[in-house]
Amino acid sequence: MIAAVGETLADPADPRMLRSRYDRTIGALEAAVAPERIAYFFFEDLFRQDTVERIAAFLGIAPPQANAAQRVNEGRSLPIPDDLARTFRAGFAPQYDFVNARFGDAVPAAWHRL
């Protein structure tokens, strides 16, 4: 399995890899859209009231009340063997580095455990 993952990670043209290219996506977005029309939010923060209020302010709407306690379609984490986790971390290191350099302290703590 590690060999197959390694092959995918090494193929920059693989559609799964292209979808994970934050640098590419953000570059294309910023080339096409005025900066004042762009806001970035991390999934890990989306359901906090302060983030909901920031999103609403950006959109120019009244903020709804966030209900962070309600879980809908919640996934579950599966254990990943250490060697596979290291392979993923190495393969996605350029993206983690880009996001950390770009967003600094705004990057959620969970990203630093990857």
Q: What is the mean pLDDT of residues 21-41?
A: 96
Distance CA 58, CA 37 (A): 8
Average pLDDT in the 99-111 region? Answer: 94
Nearest 5°: CA angle at 105, between 44 and 16? 50
The pLDDT of residue 114: 64
The pLDDT of residue 10 = 81
pLDDT value at position 6?
75
Judged against a pLDDT cut of 90, whether residue 106 lies above it is answered with yes
Q: Is the pLDDT of residue 2 over 70?
A: no
pLDDT over threshold 80, residue 73: no
Instruction: Please enumerate in sequence order all residues whose Cβ is within 8 A of that of 81, keeping only pairs 6 or more positions apart, or say none.
Output: none
Phi, psi of 69 (to 5 degrees): -75, -25
Average pLDDT over residues 82-91: 87
- The mean pLDDT of 1-10, rounded to a whole number, is 75
What's at 34, amino acid-wise?
Answer: A
